[in-house]
Amino acid sequence: MNSLQGQIALITGASSGIGAACARVFAQAGAKLILTARRQERLESLARSLMQDFNCQLYCLALDVRDRTSVEQSFANLPPEWNAIEILVNNAGLSRGLDKLHEGDILDWEEMIDTNVKGLLYVTRTLVPGMVQRQRGHIVNIGSIAGHQTYPGGNVYCATKAAVKALSEGLKQDLLGTPVRVSSVDPGLVETEFSEVRFHGDTERAKTVYQGLTPLTAQDVAEVVLFCVTRPAHVNISDVILVPTDQATTTLVHRIT
Ligand code: NDP
Ligand code: 8X3
């Protein structure tokens, strides 16, 4: 039931966190993997480890999802044996800052919108036509609880994830009548490099986000993604919100202090 034997899966943001964990569970399930992110050395090190552990086929692609031309050309130039992508995990994303909207850094806003919204759109627009043509495909968008509930200082990040939610719904509606599925996997607090990136490398501040509670791990999220993509063809897991037991809403969290 959980086999992806021989299926080609492309994961964006595979160099860290949830994307890297998806790569590992997919490799274990027998998928052929296209790993993409900006940090090529990270991808290659992950690829070496997955090849050693699972003897899987891998293709690493250094890619900035914000660069539309590069997205289009990189996918157009995939070796023919890597062309028939069946699973796309739109995971690349980030938050920057936790400022009040009226005090926010506009460069932070642009980076989030360009990556989380426009980057996801560029990748989707480039790869989904092939899925429709082949009558086979599954897109998993990594949204967030932040796309369902806004929290103080979350403003633009939450808006990008609300956009991802709308895009998942829109794509699902537009693909109706084809066998191509769309799932949205929307986690709460997951301990990855996410907060370190949000706070521009301030690791001490990043650690406080997960202090006094048991957050989700990237592996927890990857297992849900694997569940979505291994259902029978007539079943679409449309939207999953998964949170730590210690988290009720974006702001209501149980911490032991
Ligand atoms: P990480 O920071 O650990 O991973 C983010 C990944 O995105 C990295 O692989 C990074 O690779 C990639 N990425 C960022 N910008 C770009 C870009 N311009 N082009 C290509 N790749 C890019 O964080 P997470 O694993 O936590 O985040 C993954 C997704 O999960 C994001 O969409 C995030 O919003 C979402 N999410 C995270 C939650 C959390 O609490 N951690 C909760 C809910 C959702 P590189 O830097 O090498 O390009
Ligand atoms: C990440 C979860 O609540 O930190 O999307 O924004 S949260």
Assign domain 8-193+216-242 to its CATH superfamily. NAD(P)-binding Rossmann-like Domain (3.40.50.720)
Residue to substitute in 157, 186, 192, 193 for testing ligand 2 pocket (most ligand atoms within 8 angstroms of CB): 157
ipTM of the complex: 0.99
How many angstroms does the Cα of residue 121 sit away from the middle of ligand 2?
21
How many angstroms does the Cα of residue 122 sit away from the middle of ligand 1?
16
pLDDT tens digit sequence for 108-123 = 999 999 999 999 999 9
pLDDT tens digit sequence for 163-172 = 999 999 999 9
110: Cβ below 6 Å to ligand 1?
no
Residue nearest to atom 38 of ligand 1 (CA): 190
Per-residue pLDDT at 84? 98
Residue nearest to atom 4 of ligand 2 (CA): 189
What's the Cα-to-Cα distance from 95 to each of 39, 99, 167, rounded to whole Å?
18, 11, 18
What's the Cα-to-Cα distance from 209 to each of 118, 136, 155, 188, 200, rounded to whole Å?
27, 40, 17, 12, 14
Report residue 88: phi and psi, to 5°.
-115, 125
| Angstrom distance (rounded) from CA 168 to CA 1 | 25
Report the side by side order of strands in the sheet with 181-187: 58-62, 32-37, 8-12, 87-90, 138-142, 181-187, 239-242
- Beta-strand runs (E) in 63-179: 87-90, 138-142
91: Cβ below 6 Å to ligand 2?
no
Per-residue pLDDT at 125? 98
Per-residue pLDDT at 163? 99
| DSSP 8-class letter at 80 | G
| Angstrom distance (rounded) from CA 66 to CA 80 | 24
Shortest-distance ligand to the CA of residue 42: 1
State the pTM of this model: 0.98
CA torsion, points 190, 192, 198, 200, in degrees to nearest 10?
A: 160
Please, what is the average pLDDT of the chain? 98
Residue nearest to atom 6 of ligand 2 (CA): 146
How many angstroms does the Cα of residue 145 sit away from the middle of ligand 1?
15
At residue 143 the predicted structure's pLDDT band, cuts being 50, 70 and 90, is very high
Shortest-distance ligand to the CA of residue 241: 1
Residue to substitute in 90, 91, 94, 95 for testing ligand 2 pocket (most ligand atoms within 8 angstroms of CB): 95
Comparing CA positions, the residue from 121, 223, 240, 141 lying closest to residue 181 is 141
pLDDT tens digit sequence for 182-218 = 999 999 999 999 999 999 999 999 999 999 999 999 9
89: Cβ below 6 Å to ligand 2?
no
| Angstrom distance (rounded) from CA 66 to CA 111 | 9
At residue 1 the predicted structure's pLDDT band, cuts being 50, 70 and 90, is low
Shortest-distance ligand to the CA of residue 38: 1
**Annotated active-site residue in 59, 122, 157, 210:** 157
Q: Over 80: is that where the pLDDT of 47 sits?
A: yes
Domain ranges in the chain are: 8-193+216-242
